Amino acid sequence: MDIKLLNGTVEMMMLESISHGPTYGYEIVQTVLSRSNGQFELKEGSLYPALHRLERQELLESYWAEQDGRRRKYYKLTAAGKKALAARRKEWQAFSHGVNGVLGIEMSGVPC
């Protein structure tokens, strides 16, 4: 298992959030917070460096747009970003399945 898996969890959650369509920073934070039932609150200090890193890796592309009188920077997945997200999901499922096995947690009917 790749040790970067744990370090890449935030990025994986961000990619998942962005995979549903173009979105901007605050919306990414709210999506992750909501979908994690309040467990993961991304802060600006980790959000924007991660977005820039994912852009440099060409997993995201960004553009500026005005909506409701506000100019925002939107992010969307590239084809490479979609492939990377699929690979990270698969890796995460294997990782969590292994940890659940060690902990004796059964996930009957729920894919790990």
pLDDT for 68-107, tens place per residue? 899 999 999 999 999 999 999 998 899 889 989 999 987 7
Q: How far apart are CA 61 and CA 29, in angstroms?
A: 18
Tokens (6 digits) for 6: 């744990």
pLDDT, tens digit, 9 for 90 and up, residues 6-28:
568 889 999 999 999 999 999 99
108, part of any domain: no
Q: Is 76:10 a contact under the CB 8 Å cutoff?
A: no
Where does the pLDDT of residue 64 fall: very low under 50, low under 70, confident under 90, or very high at 90 and above? very high
Total domain count, the chain: 1
Given this model, what pLDDT does residue 4 score? 61
pLDDT number for residue 106:
78
Confidence band, pLDDT 50/70/90 cuts, at residue 1:
very low
Please give the single-letter amino acid code of residue 55. Answer: E
- Does residue 82 lie within any of the structural domains? yes
Establish if 26 belongs to a structural domain.
yes
